[in-house]
């Protein structure tokens, strides 16, 4: 009986020590650095297998696509014609509307909400502005 009591006591003490040790150990802290997206490869909502020149529906949000050979295109409506897919100017990833775009004149981007943006100079400043306006 004494042997069983000692084994039980040792086992209980081991569990208490192990439990205390686990609670004392610092737990890893997850930290996330801000995400950046500076090219077309990380932009969400790009439609695959678009046919250049084909009709499209939305010229304001999530307008980008790629052809079967990897060419970046966008849905646009020049001169009020039916919207179609055109070759895209260079894309600079995800940017905030009305933020500076110095050095990216006439390039395009997508806002976090999917809005089509274009780098346009106006009143002495180059800013990311709506690309559908």
Q: What is the pTM of this model?
A: 0.71
Average pLDDT over residues 55-82: 93
**Is residue 70, in this structure, part of any structural domain at all?**
yes
Assess if residue 118 is contained within a domain. yes
What backbone phi and psi angles, to 5 degrees, belong to 123? 55, 40
pLDDT for the residue 35: 63
Q: Sheet of 84-87: strands edge to edge?
A: 64-66, 72-76, 84-87
In-domain check, residue 82? yes
Report, as an integer, the average pLDDT of 126-130.
Answer: 96
The token pair at 108 is 């395009």
Range of the domain at 90: 40-130
Please report which confidence band the pLDDT of residue 80 belongs to, taking 50, 70 and 90 as the band edges: confident
Q: Residue 64: inside a domain, yes or no?
A: yes
* Token reading at 30: 């997850």
Residue 31 lies in a domain: no
32 inside domain: no
- Return the biggest CA–CA distance within the chain: 96
Quick check: is 119 in a domain? yes
Tally of domains within the chain: 1
């Amino acid at each position: 009986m004494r042997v069983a009591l000692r084994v039980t006591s040792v086992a209980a003490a081991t569990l208490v020590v192990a439990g205390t040790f686990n609670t004392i150990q610092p737990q890893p802290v997850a930290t996330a650095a801000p995400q950046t997206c500076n090219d077309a490869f990380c932009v969400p909502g790009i439609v695959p297998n678009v046919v250049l020149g084909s009709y499209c529906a939305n010229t304001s949000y999530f307008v980008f696509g790629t052809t079967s050979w990897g060419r970046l295109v966008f849905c646009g409506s020049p001169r009020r014609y039916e919207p179609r897919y055109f070759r895209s100017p260079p894309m600079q990833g995800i940017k905030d509307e009305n933020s500076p775009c110095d050095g990216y004149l006439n390039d395009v981007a997508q806002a976090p909400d999917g809005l089509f943006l274009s780098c346009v100079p106006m009143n002495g400043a180059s800013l990311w502005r709506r690309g559908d306006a």
